Homo-oligomer: A and B are copies of this chain.
Amino acid sequence: MMRLYEMPDSGNCYKVRLILTQLGQDFERIHTDILKKESRTADFLKKNPNGRVPLLEIEENVFLPESNAILWYLAEGSQFVPEDRLGRAQVLQWMFFEQYSHEPYIATSRFWITLLNAEEEYKEEIEKRKAQGYAALDVMESHLSHQEFFVGNRYSIADIALYAYTHVAHEGRFDLTGFPQIKKWLKRIQGQANHIKIDD
C-alpha cells in the first residue's frame, strides 16, 4: 500500500489525500509534524533530501516529493488530467502558478497565523505578502469569470492544487468577500464526488 508522509493541516498534503480519495486509492497516512522538525531528521532526509512533506512512498523505498508532481503521478491517465496536449500544459501552468504566485503568499501567511500562532511576531512579513496574495486571487477571479473550472471546463488536478490553500485563505487573513467567482468555484469543488475536507 502507498504511504503518505504528511502533516494534516498542510494544504499541500491535503491535495494528495483528496486526489487519492477521489481515485479510490487506499493509502496509509504517516503523520510527520513539521513544527517538531520531523521532516528534517536524518532518517527523513534520506527519504526526501529537501526535507518537506507531502512525500509519497509509492512502493518500498521509492519516494516522490512535491505535492503537484504527486498529483500528476497519481492522476495521469484518469479523468482528472486532460487528454489533449494543450490542456495538460494548462494544468501544469496553473499548478506552477499555484506554487510560485499563490502558495508563498497565501499559505505562508496562514502558516504563521494559524499553525505557528505567531501573528504578532510575523506581522511585517504577513503585511508584505498581502498585495501579492490578493494579486493571485485577482488572476483566479478573472479566469473564473468565463469558465467553471481552471482548465477545459472540467474538474482537474489544477483545481485541486488551487483549492487547497484558497479555501482556507481566511485563516491567513485574506478576505474573499470581493471574489464572487472564486466563492462559487469553491462550492463547485466541494460538490465533486468523494470530496473530503482538509480536517477529514
The answer to whether B97 and A66 touch across the interface, beta carbons within 8 angstroms, is yes
A58 within 8 A of B: yes
Known: A49-B142, A142-B49. A86 touches B64 (CB 8 A): yes
The answer to whether B139 and A97 touch across the interface, beta carbons within 8 angstroms, is no
- What is the predominant secondary structure among interface residues of chain A facing chain B? helix
Q: Quick one: which of B86, B97, B143 contacts A58, CB cutoff 8 A?
A: B86
Q: Quick one: which of B72, B103, B138 contacts A92, CB cutoff 8 A?
A: B72
Q: Quick one: which of B58, B76, B93, B138 contacts A69, CB cutoff 8 A?
A: B93
A101 within 8 A of B: yes
Q: Inside 8 A of A103's CB, which chain B residues have their CB?
A: 100
Distance in angstroms between the alpha carbons of A104 and B101 in the assembled complex: 11
Q: Inside 8 A of A142's CB, which chain B residues have their CB?
A: 49
**Apart from A66-B100, A92-B92, A100-B104: 11 A-B pairs, beta carbons within 8 A:** A49-B142, A50-B101, A50-B139, A66-B92, A66-B96, A66-B97, A68-B92, A68-B96, A69-B96, A99-B99, A100-B103
